Homo-oligomer: A and B are copies of this chain.
Amino acid sequence: MLAKIQAALAAIPYPSQPEGLYEPIQYVLSMGGKRLRPTLVLLAYSLFKSDWEKAMPAAIGLETYHNHTLLHDDLMDHADMRRGMLTVHKKWDDNTAVLSGDTMLLLAAQMIASAHIGRQDEVNALFLKSAIEICEGQQYDVNFETRSDVTEAEYIEMIRLKTSVLLGCAAKMGALLADAPAEDCEVLYRFAEKVGLAFQLQDDYLDCFGDPKVFGKKIGGDILCGKKTFMVHAALQRMTAEEAQDFLALLNTPLEQIEADEKIARALEVYRRLDIPSVVEARINAFYDEARKELNALSVPSETIWTYATSLLKRKS
């Protein structure tokens, strides 16, 4: 399935003109990635019908949309690299990132609307609703960076909007395209949303407590750049005001003023002292269990999509 997704993405016919508009789009889509969202579309579809290749236009449309968000997010974050390659605003410029990103969003909507199977109207509406929620999530993320009183519930609502609704959208989209019963569509949405929450928390967790040998990146990247992850907010909620001030000062210390290893070690010590790893593990497992329970309500066998979700959630990198 993944091979077919890659092939379909590579086969999207882009115009060659105007120069500078479509090249960055192809570039971003060639960077690779897990292709999680199109896989979920196709897996959800194939729970109900075997001709899953019919859902491919929508699947690669959703992947194109996801890469549009990465393109604009990297621009807003001033990120230089993604997956070992220069980001679009670095390889080209800011304006190219804005305009190619806008074009990518429109192409995505066009592809998603082009499957012409199942309940296409509901698919289109689901996509737009989800994409608006993702903008809201991104805005909350921005707002939270300058707040130190974000609750765990607020943080989880933010990552739900920013990342999980797109997984929910992917799974429900596959089901809608297969004309699945309405209740199954909702079940798959809630299932993938929970998987997404577990997945995102695991990202935060692995960055601090992953096994350096299998994690792939250096441990502590989030700490070094002072990113306000779930770990940070969970820790802040378990501190006195004074401790919180010290901890935030540590996270905000630029690397000119502290050794990277020391910054990481001191933050990890705080997390361990407050038992944050257990807090996060418990949260991840709870979402994992909720996801599993959702699937029990499905009217069709769900092994394939559960196996896929498990492989994501058992990852160490």
Binding site for B on A (CB under 8 A): 15, 17-21, 72, 75-76, 94-95, 98-99, 101-103, 105-107, 109-110, 113, 120-121, 124-125, 128-129, 131-132, 135-136, 138-140, 142-143
Contact = CB atoms under 8 A, between A and B. Distances in A.
Chain A interface main SS type: helix
Contacts of A15: 136
B103 A75 contact: no
Contact of A105 (B75, B94, B105): B105
A113 B124 contact: yes
Contact of A72 (B20, B102, B109, B129): B102
Given A109-B109, A132-B110, A20 B142 contact: yes
15 contacts: A15-B136, A18-B139, A18-B143, A20-B139, A20-B143, A72-B98, A76-B94, A76-B99, A98-B101, A102-B135, A106-B128, A106-B135, A109-B109, A113-B125, A120-B121
A20 to B, nearest CB: 6
Contacts of A131: 106
A139 B24 CA distance: 12
Contacts of A103: 132, 135-136
A232 to B, nearest CB: 19
A106 B125 CA distance: 10
A204 B106 CA distance: 29
A110 B128 CA distance: 6
Given A21-B136, A76-B95, 15 more contacts: A18-B136, A19-B143, A76-B99, A101-B102, A102-B102, A102-B105, A103-B132, A105-B105, A105-B106, A109-B109, A110-B125, A113-B124, A113-B125, A120-B121, A124-B124
A128 B109 contact: yes
Nearest to A136: B18
Contacts of A109: 109, 128
A128 B99 CA distance: 15
Contacts of A21: 135-136, 139
Nearest to A113: B124
Given A20-B143, A125-B113, A128-B113, A138 B106 contact: no
Q: Which 7 A-B pairs have the closest CB atoms?
A: A21-B139, A18-B139, A103-B135, A76-B95, A110-B128, A18-B140, A106-B132
